[in-house]
Amino acid sequence: MGEVQPLNPFGDLGRFFDFMYDNSEGYVYTATKDFESGEFQQYFFQWPTEREALIQHVFTHSDYREVYYGPALYSKKESTKEALLGSSFLWCEFDGNAPETVSGLPSPSLRIQSSAERNQHWYWKLESFEKDTSTLEELNQRIAYELNADFSGWDATQLLRPPGTRHHESGRLTGVVRWDPRPLPIAEFKGLPEVPIKFVQTEDIKDVPQPLRVISKYVFSDEEMDFFLTPTIEKGHRSSALTKLAHICLEDPKRMTNAECLSLLLHADQRWGKFSKRKDRVDRLIGIINYCRTRHPVNLVKEETTEPKLKIYTYDEFVNTELKIEWVIPGLIHKEAFVVVHGPPGSGKSQLSLRFAEKLAKGEPFLKWKPDRPLRTITLSLEMSFTELRLFIDTMEFGANPLLRENMLLAPSGEAVKLISAEGQASVIEAIEAYRPDGIIIDSLGASISDDSQSEKIVYKLINFVNQVRKHYGIFIWFIAHPRKDQIGNKKPTGLSDIYGSYAIGQHLTTGISLWNPPKLGNVIEVMNSKLRLAEEFKPFKIRRTPTLDFEMILGQRTLPSDTPIFGGDDEGDDDMDFGGLKI
Protein backbone atom coordinates (compact mmCIF):
# COMPACT_ATOMS: atom_id res chain seq x y z
CA MET A 1 0.00 0.00 0.00
CA GLY A 2 3.01 2.30 0.33
CA GLU A 3 4.82 3.74 3.32
CA VAL A 4 2.92 6.15 5.56
CA GLN A 5 4.72 9.45 6.08
CA PRO A 6 3.63 11.37 9.23
CA LEU A 7 3.72 15.13 8.76
CA ASN A 8 5.67 17.72 10.70
CA PRO A 9 2.86 19.71 12.31
CA PHE A 10 4.07 23.19 11.42
CA GLY A 11 5.86 22.43 8.18
CA ASP A 12 4.20 19.67 6.22
CA LEU A 13 0.75 20.32 7.69
CA GLY A 14 1.00 23.86 6.32
CA ARG A 15 2.11 22.39 2.99
CA PHE A 16 -0.97 20.15 3.02
CA PHE A 17 -3.41 23.04 3.55
CA ASP A 18 -1.56 25.12 0.92
CA PHE A 19 -2.06 22.21 -1.48
CA MET A 20 -5.77 21.95 -0.62
CA TYR A 21 -6.72 25.63 -0.85
CA ASP A 22 -3.88 27.15 -2.92
CA ASN A 23 -4.64 30.77 -3.93
CA SER A 24 -8.37 30.55 -3.25
CA GLU A 25 -10.11 32.64 -0.61
CA GLY A 26 -12.84 31.68 1.79
CA TYR A 27 -13.53 29.99 5.11
CA VAL A 28 -12.06 26.59 6.01
CA TYR A 29 -14.48 24.44 7.97
CA THR A 30 -13.01 22.24 10.74
CA ALA A 31 -14.56 20.27 13.56
CA THR A 32 -13.47 18.32 16.62
CA LYS A 33 -15.14 15.48 18.49
CA ASP A 34 -14.58 14.11 21.97
CA PHE A 35 -13.82 10.42 21.53
CA GLU A 36 -15.61 9.36 24.71
CA SER A 37 -18.68 11.60 24.87
CA GLY A 38 -19.15 12.27 21.15
CA GLU A 39 -19.36 16.04 21.81
CA PHE A 40 -18.96 17.83 18.47
CA GLN A 41 -17.67 21.39 17.96
CA GLN A 42 -17.34 23.43 14.75
CA TYR A 43 -14.68 26.02 13.85
CA PHE A 44 -14.03 28.31 10.87
CA PHE A 45 -10.77 29.91 9.74
CA GLN A 46 -10.49 32.52 7.00
CA TRP A 47 -8.11 31.42 4.27
CA PRO A 48 -5.36 32.51 3.75
CA THR A 49 -5.28 35.22 6.45
CA GLU A 50 -5.77 32.73 9.33
CA ARG A 51 -3.51 30.03 7.91
CA GLU A 52 -1.23 29.84 10.96
CA ALA A 53 -4.18 29.74 13.37
CA LEU A 54 -5.67 26.83 11.39
CA ILE A 55 -2.43 24.83 11.60
CA GLN A 56 -2.07 25.52 15.33
CA HIS A 57 -5.71 24.54 15.93
CA VAL A 58 -5.31 21.16 14.19
CA PHE A 59 -2.04 20.40 15.98
CA THR A 60 -3.16 21.29 19.52
CA HIS A 61 -6.55 19.55 19.39
CA SER A 62 -5.31 16.32 17.82
CA ASP A 63 -3.78 15.04 21.08
CA TYR A 64 -7.11 14.77 22.90
CA ARG A 65 -9.90 15.06 20.28
CA GLU A 66 -10.73 13.71 16.83
CA VAL A 67 -10.01 16.47 14.29
CA TYR A 68 -11.71 16.88 10.91
CA TYR A 69 -11.67 19.44 8.10
CA GLY A 70 -13.58 20.05 4.87
CA PRO A 71 -11.87 20.10 1.44
CA ALA A 72 -14.30 22.81 0.28
CA LEU A 73 -14.23 26.54 1.04
CA TYR A 74 -17.22 28.58 2.26
CA SER A 75 -18.34 32.18 1.79
CA LYS A 76 -19.18 32.59 5.49
CA LYS A 77 -18.91 30.76 8.81
CA GLU A 78 -21.63 28.28 7.94
CA SER A 79 -21.25 24.64 6.81
CA THR A 80 -24.17 24.64 4.37
CA LYS A 81 -24.32 24.09 0.64
CA GLU A 82 -25.77 27.58 0.24
CA ALA A 83 -22.56 29.02 1.70
CA LEU A 84 -20.25 26.66 -0.19
CA LEU A 85 -17.86 28.34 -2.65
CA GLY A 86 -16.38 25.21 -4.20
CA SER A 87 -13.27 23.04 -4.13
CA SER A 88 -10.11 22.32 -6.12
CA PHE A 89 -10.50 18.58 -5.43
CA LEU A 90 -12.58 15.49 -6.02
CA TRP A 91 -12.37 12.82 -3.32
CA CYS A 92 -13.56 9.51 -1.94
CA GLU A 93 -13.24 7.61 1.34
CA PHE A 94 -12.52 3.91 1.93
CA ASP A 95 -13.66 2.20 5.11
CA GLY A 96 -11.20 -0.71 5.10
CA ASN A 97 -11.33 -1.63 1.40
CA ALA A 98 -8.89 0.74 -0.36
CA PRO A 99 -7.53 -1.01 -3.48
CA GLU A 100 -3.83 -1.44 -4.27
CA THR A 101 -4.19 0.01 -7.77
CA VAL A 102 -6.74 2.07 -9.66
CA SER A 103 -8.12 1.64 -13.16
CA GLY A 104 -10.76 3.50 -15.13
CA LEU A 105 -9.74 6.94 -13.84
CA PRO A 106 -6.53 8.89 -13.11
CA SER A 107 -4.33 7.91 -10.15
CA PRO A 108 -5.15 10.01 -7.08
CA SER A 109 -3.04 13.09 -6.37
CA LEU A 110 -3.10 12.37 -2.65
CA ARG A 111 -3.73 9.20 -0.63
CA ILE A 112 -4.04 9.55 3.15
CA GLN A 113 -4.19 6.57 5.49
CA SER A 114 -6.72 7.57 8.14
CA SER A 115 -6.31 4.61 10.54
CA ALA A 116 -5.79 0.98 9.51
CA GLU A 117 -3.88 0.20 6.33
CA ARG A 118 -6.88 0.09 3.98
CA ASN A 119 -8.80 2.95 5.62
CA GLN A 120 -7.88 5.77 3.27
CA HIS A 121 -8.99 9.09 1.81
CA TRP A 122 -8.17 9.68 -1.86
CA TYR A 123 -8.02 13.13 -3.52
CA TRP A 124 -7.70 14.29 -7.13
CA LYS A 125 -6.32 17.81 -7.63
CA LEU A 126 -8.19 19.73 -10.36
CA GLU A 127 -6.70 22.29 -12.73
CA SER A 128 -9.18 24.90 -11.56
CA PHE A 129 -11.43 25.71 -8.61
CA GLU A 130 -14.81 24.05 -9.27
CA LYS A 131 -17.68 26.26 -8.08
CA ASP A 132 -20.57 24.04 -9.20
CA THR A 133 -21.61 21.97 -6.17
CA SER A 134 -23.72 19.58 -8.25
CA THR A 135 -20.73 18.82 -10.50
CA LEU A 136 -18.51 18.10 -7.48
CA GLU A 137 -21.07 15.78 -5.92
CA GLU A 138 -21.97 13.98 -9.12
CA LEU A 139 -18.33 13.21 -9.92
CA ASN A 140 -17.63 12.18 -6.31
CA GLN A 141 -20.59 9.80 -6.57
CA ARG A 142 -19.29 8.32 -9.82
CA ILE A 143 -15.83 7.85 -8.29
CA ALA A 144 -17.33 6.13 -5.23
CA TYR A 145 -19.40 3.86 -7.48
CA GLU A 146 -16.46 3.03 -9.75
CA LEU A 147 -14.06 2.25 -6.87
CA ASN A 148 -16.61 0.75 -4.45
CA ALA A 149 -15.73 3.45 -1.92
CA ASP A 150 -17.83 4.76 0.98
CA PHE A 151 -21.21 5.94 -0.38
CA SER A 152 -21.57 8.57 2.35
CA GLY A 153 -18.35 10.44 1.51
CA TRP A 154 -19.39 12.25 -1.69
CA ASP A 155 -21.19 15.25 -0.19
CA ALA A 156 -19.61 18.64 -0.94
CA THR A 157 -19.78 19.52 2.78
CA GLN A 158 -17.96 16.30 3.74
CA LEU A 159 -15.52 16.28 6.67
CA LEU A 160 -12.32 14.20 6.47
CA ARG A 161 -9.22 13.72 8.64
CA PRO A 162 -6.20 15.92 7.88
CA PRO A 163 -2.84 14.13 7.94
CA GLY A 164 -0.75 14.28 11.10
CA THR A 165 -3.79 13.95 13.39
CA ARG A 166 -4.55 11.03 15.67
CA HIS A 167 -7.26 8.40 15.16
CA HIS A 168 -7.95 7.81 18.86
CA GLU A 169 -9.78 4.48 18.60
CA SER A 170 -6.82 2.81 16.88
CA GLY A 171 -4.13 5.08 18.36
CA ARG A 172 -2.64 5.61 14.88
CA LEU A 173 -1.56 8.89 13.31
CA THR A 174 -2.96 9.67 9.88
CA GLY A 175 -0.27 9.98 7.24
CA VAL A 176 0.42 10.43 3.54
CA VAL A 177 0.77 7.31 1.36
CA ARG A 178 1.05 9.12 -2.01
CA TRP A 179 1.43 12.76 -3.00
CA ASP A 180 1.52 13.93 -6.62
CA PRO A 181 1.02 17.72 -6.98
CA ARG A 182 0.25 17.67 -10.71
CA PRO A 183 -3.33 18.91 -11.36
CA LEU A 184 -5.82 17.04 -13.58
CA PRO A 185 -8.44 18.33 -16.05
CA ILE A 186 -11.96 17.69 -14.80
CA ALA A 187 -12.88 16.30 -18.23
CA GLU A 188 -10.94 13.12 -17.38
CA PHE A 189 -13.65 12.19 -14.86
CA LYS A 190 -16.77 12.88 -16.92
CA GLY A 191 -16.51 9.57 -18.76
CA LEU A 192 -17.02 7.56 -15.57
CA PRO A 193 -20.16 5.35 -15.55
CA GLU A 194 -23.33 6.93 -14.21
CA VAL A 195 -24.62 5.67 -10.87
CA PRO A 196 -27.75 3.55 -11.57
CA ILE A 197 -29.72 5.16 -8.71
CA LYS A 198 -30.23 8.62 -7.28
CA PHE A 199 -28.28 8.78 -4.04
CA VAL A 200 -30.46 9.28 -0.99
CA GLN A 201 -29.64 12.07 1.46
CA THR A 202 -30.81 12.56 5.04
CA GLU A 203 -33.39 15.17 4.06
CA ASP A 204 -34.95 12.76 1.53
CA ILE A 205 -36.21 10.47 4.30
CA LYS A 206 -39.26 12.08 5.87
CA ASP A 207 -40.35 9.71 8.65
CA VAL A 208 -38.46 6.74 10.09
CA PRO A 209 -40.92 4.08 11.35
CA GLN A 210 -40.52 2.17 14.60
CA PRO A 211 -38.40 -1.00 14.16
CA LEU A 212 -41.18 -3.21 15.55
CA ARG A 213 -43.57 -1.99 12.84
CA VAL A 214 -41.00 -2.81 10.18
CA ILE A 215 -40.25 -6.26 11.60
CA SER A 216 -43.97 -7.10 11.77
CA LYS A 217 -44.53 -6.03 8.17
CA TYR A 218 -42.02 -8.38 6.49
CA VAL A 219 -41.20 -12.09 6.63
CA PHE A 220 -37.71 -12.91 7.95
CA SER A 221 -36.08 -16.32 7.92
CA ASP A 222 -34.84 -17.67 11.26
CA GLU A 223 -31.27 -17.06 10.13
CA GLU A 224 -32.02 -13.43 9.16
CA MET A 225 -33.80 -12.76 12.43
CA ASP A 226 -30.98 -14.30 14.48
CA PHE A 227 -28.49 -12.11 12.64
CA PHE A 228 -30.54 -8.93 13.20
CA LEU A 229 -30.83 -9.73 16.93
CA THR A 230 -27.09 -10.39 17.37
CA PRO A 231 -26.20 -8.40 20.52
CA THR A 232 -22.59 -7.51 19.61
CA ILE A 233 -20.33 -7.54 16.55
CA GLU A 234 -16.55 -7.69 16.81
CA LYS A 235 -14.64 -4.52 15.90
CA GLY A 236 -13.43 -4.65 12.32
CA HIS A 237 -16.61 -6.48 11.22
CA ARG A 238 -19.31 -4.00 12.25
CA SER A 239 -19.43 -2.09 8.97
CA SER A 240 -19.74 -5.28 6.92
CA ALA A 241 -22.45 -6.52 9.33
CA LEU A 242 -24.51 -3.35 8.80
CA THR A 243 -24.04 -3.74 5.04
CA LYS A 244 -25.24 -7.34 5.23
CA LEU A 245 -28.33 -6.22 7.15
CA ALA A 246 -29.07 -3.54 4.51
CA HIS A 247 -28.81 -6.19 1.77
CA ILE A 248 -31.34 -8.32 3.64
CA CYS A 249 -33.71 -5.33 3.86
CA LEU A 250 -33.42 -4.25 0.23
CA GLU A 251 -33.18 -7.46 -1.76
CA ASP A 252 -36.12 -9.57 -2.92
CA PRO A 253 -38.63 -10.36 -1.63
CA LYS A 254 -38.61 -7.64 1.05
CA ARG A 255 -37.62 -4.56 -0.97
CA MET A 256 -38.06 -2.22 2.01
CA THR A 257 -38.26 1.52 1.64
CA ASN A 258 -35.19 3.56 2.53
CA ALA A 259 -36.88 4.75 5.72
CA GLU A 260 -37.73 1.19 6.79
CA CYS A 261 -34.19 -0.01 6.10
CA LEU A 262 -32.75 2.95 8.04
CA SER A 263 -34.98 2.08 11.00
CA LEU A 264 -33.46 -1.40 11.32
CA LEU A 265 -29.91 -0.14 10.72
CA LEU A 266 -30.29 2.42 13.51
CA HIS A 267 -31.60 -0.27 15.85
CA ALA A 268 -28.72 -2.64 15.04
CA ASP A 269 -26.08 0.11 15.20
CA GLN A 270 -27.25 1.05 18.69
CA ARG A 271 -26.21 -2.44 19.82
CA TRP A 272 -23.19 -2.92 17.56
CA GLY A 273 -21.73 0.57 18.16
CA LYS A 274 -20.19 1.30 14.76
CA PHE A 275 -21.58 4.83 14.30
CA SER A 276 -23.73 5.28 17.42
CA LYS A 277 -21.46 8.00 18.88
CA ARG A 278 -20.92 9.89 15.63
CA LYS A 279 -22.62 13.12 14.67
CA ASP A 280 -22.83 11.90 11.06
CA ARG A 281 -24.33 8.57 12.13
CA VAL A 282 -27.44 8.82 9.92
CA ASP A 283 -25.36 9.98 6.95
CA ARG A 284 -23.09 6.95 7.33
CA LEU A 285 -26.00 4.53 7.51
CA ILE A 286 -27.64 6.17 4.50
CA GLY A 287 -24.32 5.71 2.70
CA ILE A 288 -24.67 1.97 3.32
CA ILE A 289 -28.23 2.11 1.94
CA ASN A 290 -26.97 3.92 -1.16
CA TYR A 291 -24.29 1.29 -1.67
CA CYS A 292 -26.79 -1.57 -1.36
CA ARG A 293 -29.31 0.22 -3.58
CA THR A 294 -26.79 0.14 -6.44
CA ARG A 295 -26.80 -3.64 -6.06
CA HIS A 296 -30.59 -3.89 -5.73
CA PRO A 297 -32.06 -1.03 -7.83
CA VAL A 298 -35.78 -1.59 -8.21
CA ASN A 299 -35.82 -0.12 -11.71
CA LEU A 300 -33.35 -2.57 -13.22
CA VAL A 301 -33.98 -6.06 -14.59
CA LYS A 302 -33.09 -8.74 -12.07
CA GLU A 303 -29.86 -10.62 -12.52
CA GLU A 304 -29.88 -13.98 -14.25
CA THR A 305 -30.57 -16.92 -11.95
CA THR A 306 -30.77 -20.67 -12.32
CA GLU A 307 -34.48 -20.58 -11.45
CA PRO A 308 -37.07 -20.96 -14.24
CA LYS A 309 -37.90 -17.62 -15.82
CA LEU A 310 -41.59 -18.52 -16.33
CA LYS A 311 -44.13 -19.47 -13.69
CA ILE A 312 -45.91 -22.51 -15.12
CA TYR A 313 -49.37 -23.60 -13.95
CA THR A 314 -51.23 -26.77 -14.73
CA TYR A 315 -54.73 -26.16 -16.13
CA ASP A 316 -56.34 -27.10 -12.79
CA GLU A 317 -53.99 -24.82 -10.85
CA PHE A 318 -54.74 -21.96 -13.24
CA VAL A 319 -58.55 -22.16 -13.18
CA ASN A 320 -58.72 -22.89 -9.45
CA THR A 321 -56.49 -20.00 -8.39
CA GLU A 322 -58.56 -17.37 -6.59
CA LEU A 323 -58.93 -14.29 -8.79
CA LYS A 324 -59.42 -10.95 -7.07
CA ILE A 325 -59.19 -7.59 -8.80
CA GLU A 326 -58.55 -4.59 -6.56
CA TRP A 327 -60.08 -1.43 -7.99
CA VAL A 328 -59.01 2.18 -7.52
CA ILE A 329 -62.07 3.33 -9.46
CA PRO A 330 -64.47 0.37 -9.73
CA GLY A 331 -64.98 -0.66 -13.34
CA LEU A 332 -62.41 1.81 -14.70
CA ILE A 333 -58.96 1.70 -13.08
CA HIS A 334 -57.62 -1.26 -11.11
CA LYS A 335 -54.84 -1.08 -8.52
CA GLU A 336 -51.96 -1.67 -10.95
CA ALA A 337 -53.48 -0.06 -14.04
CA PHE A 338 -51.60 1.48 -16.95
CA VAL A 339 -53.83 4.37 -18.03
CA VAL A 340 -53.55 6.73 -20.98
CA VAL A 341 -55.82 9.76 -21.50
CA HIS A 342 -55.37 10.99 -25.06
CA GLY A 343 -56.82 13.60 -27.35
CA PRO A 344 -55.88 16.63 -29.47
CA PRO A 345 -54.61 19.91 -28.00
CA GLY A 346 -57.32 21.82 -26.13
CA SER A 347 -59.46 18.76 -25.43
CA GLY A 348 -58.99 19.11 -21.66
CA LYS A 349 -56.55 16.28 -20.92
CA SER A 350 -54.53 18.16 -18.28
CA GLN A 351 -57.63 19.73 -16.69
CA LEU A 352 -59.43 16.40 -16.55
CA SER A 353 -56.37 14.73 -15.00
CA LEU A 354 -55.97 17.41 -12.32
CA ARG A 355 -59.68 17.20 -11.46
CA PHE A 356 -59.27 13.44 -11.28
CA ALA A 357 -56.39 13.87 -8.78
CA GLU A 358 -58.49 16.34 -6.74
CA LYS A 359 -61.53 14.05 -6.55
CA LEU A 360 -59.38 11.02 -5.70
CA ALA A 361 -57.73 12.99 -2.87
CA LYS A 362 -61.14 13.86 -1.41
CA GLY A 363 -62.74 10.49 -2.16
CA GLU A 364 -65.48 12.29 -4.12
CA PRO A 365 -67.29 11.22 -7.32
CA PHE A 366 -65.61 12.13 -10.58
CA LEU A 367 -67.98 12.30 -13.58
CA LYS A 368 -69.69 8.87 -13.53
CA TRP A 369 -67.14 7.16 -11.27
CA LYS A 370 -66.45 7.16 -7.53
CA PRO A 371 -63.41 5.89 -5.60
CA ASP A 372 -64.06 3.67 -2.59
CA ARG A 373 -61.90 5.90 -0.36
CA PRO A 374 -59.63 8.97 -0.54
CA LEU A 375 -56.47 8.12 -2.51
CA ARG A 376 -53.05 9.75 -2.77
CA THR A 377 -51.52 10.69 -6.12
CA ILE A 378 -48.40 12.47 -7.34
CA THR A 379 -48.87 14.59 -10.46
CA LEU A 380 -45.60 14.87 -12.35
CA SER A 381 -45.97 17.91 -14.62
CA LEU A 382 -43.30 17.76 -17.31
CA GLU A 383 -44.89 20.41 -19.54
CA MET A 384 -45.92 23.08 -17.03
CA SER A 385 -43.49 24.85 -14.69
CA PHE A 386 -44.35 25.71 -11.08
CA THR A 387 -45.73 29.14 -12.08
CA GLU A 388 -47.81 27.78 -14.95
CA LEU A 389 -49.26 24.92 -12.92
CA ARG A 390 -49.99 27.25 -9.99
CA LEU A 391 -51.97 29.66 -12.20
CA PHE A 392 -53.77 26.69 -13.72
CA ILE A 393 -54.81 25.30 -10.32
CA ASP A 394 -55.72 28.75 -8.94
CA THR A 395 -58.18 29.07 -11.83
CA MET A 396 -59.62 25.64 -11.03
CA GLU A 397 -60.52 26.84 -7.49
CA PHE A 398 -59.98 23.61 -5.57
CA GLY A 399 -60.50 25.36 -2.25
CA ALA A 400 -59.13 24.40 1.16
CA ASN A 401 -59.46 20.79 2.21
CA PRO A 402 -57.23 18.81 4.61
CA LEU A 403 -57.48 15.76 2.35
CA LEU A 404 -55.96 17.75 -0.51
CA ARG A 405 -53.01 18.68 1.68
CA GLU A 406 -52.44 15.02 2.50
CA ASN A 407 -53.31 13.26 -0.74
CA MET A 408 -52.74 15.59 -3.71
CA LEU A 409 -49.01 15.91 -4.34
CA LEU A 410 -47.52 17.91 -7.21
CA ALA A 411 -44.11 17.81 -8.89
CA PRO A 412 -43.97 20.65 -11.46
CA SER A 413 -40.61 20.14 -13.20
CA GLY A 414 -41.69 21.99 -16.35
CA GLU A 415 -39.13 20.05 -18.38
CA ALA A 416 -38.67 16.56 -19.73
CA VAL A 417 -37.72 13.83 -17.26
CA LYS A 418 -36.58 10.89 -19.33
CA LEU A 419 -38.08 7.81 -17.75
CA ILE A 420 -35.94 5.69 -20.07
CA SER A 421 -32.79 6.89 -18.25
CA ALA A 422 -31.44 5.60 -14.94
CA GLU A 423 -31.55 9.10 -13.44
CA GLY A 424 -35.15 9.76 -14.51
CA GLN A 425 -36.32 6.38 -13.25
CA ALA A 426 -34.50 6.91 -9.96
CA SER A 427 -36.27 10.25 -9.41
CA VAL A 428 -39.68 8.56 -9.75
CA ILE A 429 -38.68 5.65 -7.50
CA GLU A 430 -37.42 8.13 -4.89
CA ALA A 431 -40.79 9.94 -4.89
CA ILE A 432 -42.70 6.66 -4.55
CA GLU A 433 -40.44 5.53 -1.72
CA ALA A 434 -40.89 8.81 0.14
CA TYR A 435 -44.65 9.37 -0.28
CA ARG A 436 -46.17 5.93 -1.08
CA PRO A 437 -48.90 7.15 -3.46
CA ASP A 438 -51.76 5.05 -4.83
CA GLY A 439 -50.97 6.35 -8.29
CA ILE A 440 -48.83 8.68 -10.39
CA ILE A 441 -50.18 11.03 -13.07
CA ILE A 442 -47.61 12.04 -15.69
CA ASP A 443 -48.10 14.96 -18.08
CA SER A 444 -47.06 13.91 -20.66
CA LEU A 445 -46.13 10.62 -22.30
CA GLY A 446 -44.04 12.33 -24.97
CA ALA A 447 -42.07 14.40 -22.45
CA SER A 448 -41.34 11.27 -20.38
CA ILE A 449 -39.65 9.67 -23.39
CA SER A 450 -38.07 12.86 -24.75
CA ASP A 451 -36.57 10.92 -27.62
CA ASP A 452 -37.64 9.06 -30.75
CA SER A 453 -41.15 8.00 -29.72
CA GLN A 454 -41.50 5.77 -32.77
CA SER A 455 -38.47 3.68 -31.80
CA GLU A 456 -39.64 0.31 -30.47
CA LYS A 457 -36.45 0.02 -28.41
CA ILE A 458 -37.00 3.41 -26.72
CA VAL A 459 -40.70 2.87 -26.05
CA TYR A 460 -40.20 -0.61 -24.64
CA LYS A 461 -37.70 0.81 -22.15
CA LEU A 462 -40.49 3.03 -20.86
CA ILE A 463 -43.05 0.21 -20.86
CA ASN A 464 -40.75 -2.15 -18.97
CA PHE A 465 -40.12 0.49 -16.31
CA VAL A 466 -43.84 1.31 -16.00
CA ASN A 467 -44.73 -2.38 -15.66
CA GLN A 468 -42.05 -2.99 -13.01
CA VAL A 469 -43.10 0.02 -10.93
CA ARG A 470 -46.84 -0.56 -10.97
CA LYS A 471 -46.50 -4.27 -10.15
CA HIS A 472 -43.80 -3.83 -7.51
CA TYR A 473 -45.50 -0.97 -5.65
CA GLY A 474 -49.12 -1.85 -6.46
CA ILE A 475 -49.92 1.58 -7.95
CA PHE A 476 -51.56 2.81 -11.13
CA ILE A 477 -49.73 5.03 -13.61
CA TRP A 478 -51.79 7.53 -15.62
CA PHE A 479 -50.25 9.22 -18.67
CA ILE A 480 -51.53 12.18 -20.63
CA ALA A 481 -50.82 11.67 -24.33
CA HIS A 482 -51.14 13.75 -27.48
CA PRO A 483 -52.32 12.47 -30.87
CA ARG A 484 -49.65 10.87 -33.00
CA LYS A 485 -50.51 13.11 -35.97
CA ASP A 486 -52.96 15.73 -37.21
CA GLN A 487 -56.40 14.39 -37.97
CA ILE A 488 -57.27 14.66 -41.66
CA GLY A 489 -60.78 15.89 -42.29
CA ASN A 490 -61.36 16.65 -38.61
CA LYS A 491 -61.58 12.92 -37.86
CA LYS A 492 -61.87 11.90 -34.21
CA PRO A 493 -58.54 10.54 -32.83
CA THR A 494 -60.26 7.82 -30.79
CA GLY A 495 -58.25 4.72 -31.66
CA LEU A 496 -55.18 3.37 -29.91
CA SER A 497 -53.23 3.93 -33.11
CA ASP A 498 -53.78 7.67 -32.62
CA ILE A 499 -51.76 7.80 -29.38
CA TYR A 500 -48.49 9.70 -29.68
CA GLY A 501 -45.75 7.07 -29.65
CA SER A 502 -45.26 3.49 -30.72
CA TYR A 503 -48.17 1.10 -31.18
CA ALA A 504 -46.64 -0.78 -28.23
CA ILE A 505 -48.19 1.80 -25.88
CA GLY A 506 -51.69 0.88 -26.99
CA GLN A 507 -50.94 -2.82 -26.70
CA HIS A 508 -49.79 -2.64 -23.06
CA LEU A 509 -52.13 -0.13 -21.45
CA THR A 510 -55.10 -1.41 -19.45
CA THR A 511 -57.34 1.68 -19.64
CA GLY A 512 -57.54 4.12 -22.54
CA ILE A 513 -59.72 7.25 -22.36
CA SER A 514 -60.10 9.45 -25.44
CA LEU A 515 -61.26 13.09 -25.41
CA TRP A 516 -62.66 14.92 -28.45
CA ASN A 517 -63.29 18.66 -28.59
CA PRO A 518 -63.19 20.23 -32.10
CA PRO A 519 -63.75 24.02 -32.37
CA LYS A 520 -67.44 23.72 -33.27
CA LEU A 521 -68.07 21.74 -30.08
CA GLY A 522 -67.31 24.76 -27.90
CA ASN A 523 -67.03 23.85 -24.22
CA VAL A 524 -68.47 20.38 -24.80
CA ILE A 525 -66.05 17.43 -24.72
CA GLU A 526 -66.91 13.91 -25.79
CA VAL A 527 -65.43 11.19 -23.55
CA MET A 528 -64.85 7.85 -25.23
CA ASN A 529 -63.35 4.52 -24.28
CA SER A 530 -60.45 3.37 -26.45
CA LYS A 531 -59.58 0.40 -24.22
CA LEU A 532 -60.74 -1.19 -20.96
CA ARG A 533 -59.05 -4.52 -20.39
CA LEU A 534 -60.60 -5.72 -17.12
CA ALA A 535 -64.16 -4.41 -17.27
CA GLU A 536 -67.01 -3.75 -19.67
CA GLU A 537 -66.30 -0.73 -21.85
CA PHE A 538 -68.34 2.37 -21.04
CA LYS A 539 -70.43 4.07 -23.72
CA PRO A 540 -69.31 7.50 -24.98
CA PHE A 541 -70.78 10.49 -23.17
CA LYS A 542 -70.40 14.27 -23.17
CA ILE A 543 -69.23 16.71 -20.54
CA ARG A 544 -69.14 20.49 -20.44
CA ARG A 545 -66.17 22.58 -19.28
CA THR A 546 -67.14 25.27 -16.72
CA PRO A 547 -65.49 28.72 -16.28
CA THR A 548 -63.48 27.37 -13.31
CA LEU A 549 -62.11 24.56 -15.51
CA ASP A 550 -64.36 22.00 -13.86
CA PHE A 551 -66.59 19.56 -15.73
CA GLU A 552 -70.28 18.73 -15.66
CA MET A 553 -72.20 15.90 -17.28
CA ILE A 554 -74.56 16.67 -20.15
CA LEU A 555 -77.95 14.93 -19.98
CA GLY A 556 -79.87 13.41 -22.87
CA GLN A 557 -77.14 12.81 -25.42
CA ARG A 558 -76.15 10.41 -28.09
CA THR A 559 -72.83 9.71 -29.75
CA LEU A 560 -72.40 10.63 -33.37
CA PRO A 561 -70.31 8.59 -35.80
CA SER A 562 -66.59 9.32 -35.58
CA ASP A 563 -66.47 10.92 -39.03
CA THR A 564 -69.52 13.18 -38.51
CA PRO A 565 -68.96 16.90 -37.80
CA ILE A 566 -70.11 17.80 -34.28
CA PHE A 567 -71.83 21.08 -33.42
CA GLY A 568 -72.07 22.71 -30.01
CA GLY A 569 -75.14 22.51 -27.79
CA ASP A 570 -77.24 19.72 -26.32
CA ASP A 571 -78.98 17.22 -28.56
CA GLU A 572 -82.63 17.29 -27.45
CA GLY A 573 -84.59 14.07 -27.75
CA ASP A 574 -81.51 11.82 -27.69
CA ASP A 575 -81.89 8.35 -26.26
CA ASP A 576 -80.94 7.81 -22.62
CA MET A 577 -77.57 6.15 -22.13
CA ASP A 578 -77.01 3.32 -19.67
CA PHE A 579 -74.02 3.93 -17.41
CA GLY A 580 -74.02 0.72 -15.41
CA GLY A 581 -77.58 1.21 -14.16
CA LEU A 582 -77.39 5.02 -13.95
CA LYS A 583 -79.62 6.63 -16.58
CA ILE A 584 -78.14 9.86 -17.97
Region 397-405: mean pLDDT is 87
Nearest-angstrom CA–CA distance, 47 and 26 = 5
User: Helix or strand or coil: residue 552?
Assistant: strand
* % of the chain surpassing 90 pLDDT: 36
Residues 274-330: tens digit of each pLDDT: 888 777 889 889 999 988 888 766 543 333 333 445 677 777 777 787 777 788 888
Mean pLDDT in residue range 325-347 = 86
pLDDT at 151: 87
Residue predicted with more confidence, 532 or 206: 532
Residue type, 527: V
Instruction: Report pLDDT for 496.
Output: 58
pTM strictly above 0.75? no
pLDDT at 51 over 70: yes
- Residue 491: what pLDDT? 56
Average pLDDT, the chain: 82
- Whether residue 62 is predicted with pLDDT greater than 80 in this model: the reply is yes
pLDDT band for position 485 (cuts 50, 70, 90): low
Q: How confident is the model at residue 37, as a pLDDT?
A: 78
Distance CA 35, CA 113 (A): 19
**22-36, 279-293, 482-496, 558-572, range with the lowest pLDDT:** 558-572
To the nearest 10°, report the CA torsion of 282, 283, 284, 287: 120
For residue 12, give the nearest of 217, 173, 124 by alpha carbon. 173
What confidence score (pLDDT) does residue 368 get?
A: 84
Q: Give the pLDDT mean for 183-210.
A: 86
| Position 198 confidence tier, pLDDT thresholds 50, 70, 90 | confident
Nearest to 61 by CA among 38, 28, 31: 31
| pLDDT one-digit tens code per residue, 420-442 | 777 788 888 888 888 889 999 99
Lowest mean pLDDT among 52-56, 321-325, 442-446: 321-325
3-state DSSP of 432-475 = HHHHCCCEEEEECHHHHHCCCCCCHHHHHHHHHHHHHHHHHHCC
Query: Across residues 189-207, what is the average pLDDT?
Result: 83
For residues 395 and 70, give the distance between their C-alpha atoms in angstroms, rounded to a whole number.
48
pLDDT tens for 67-94 read 999 999 999 999 999 999 999 999 999 9
* Topology adopted by domain 329-583: Rossmann fold (3.40.50)
Report the pLDDT averaged over residues 202-206.
Answer: 81
Outline which parts of the chain fall under CATH 3.30.70.1790.
12-189
Residue 30 reports pLDDT greater than 80: yes
Within the chain, all domains assigned CATH 3.40.50.300 are found at 329-583
Q: Give DSSP secondary structure letters for 176-223.
A: EEEE----B-GGGGTTSPPPSSPPP-GGG---PPPHHHHHHHS---HH
Mean per-residue pLDDT, 120-136: 94
Please, where are the H alpha helices in 94-188? 133-147
Highest mean pLDDT among 118-127, 392-401, 550-559: 118-127
Q: Which band of pLDDT confidence, cut at 50, 70 and 90, is reported for residue 243?
A: very high
Give the per-residue pLDDT at 581. 30
Provide mean pLDDT across the span 15-27.
94
Q: What is the CATH number of domain 12-189?
A: 3.30.70.1790
DSSP letter, residue 489: G
Whether pLDDT at 582 is above 60: no
Q: What is the pLDDT of residue 584?
A: 26
**Other beta carbons within 10 Å of 405:** 10
Q: Sign of the CA dihedral 235, 237, 240, 241?
A: negative
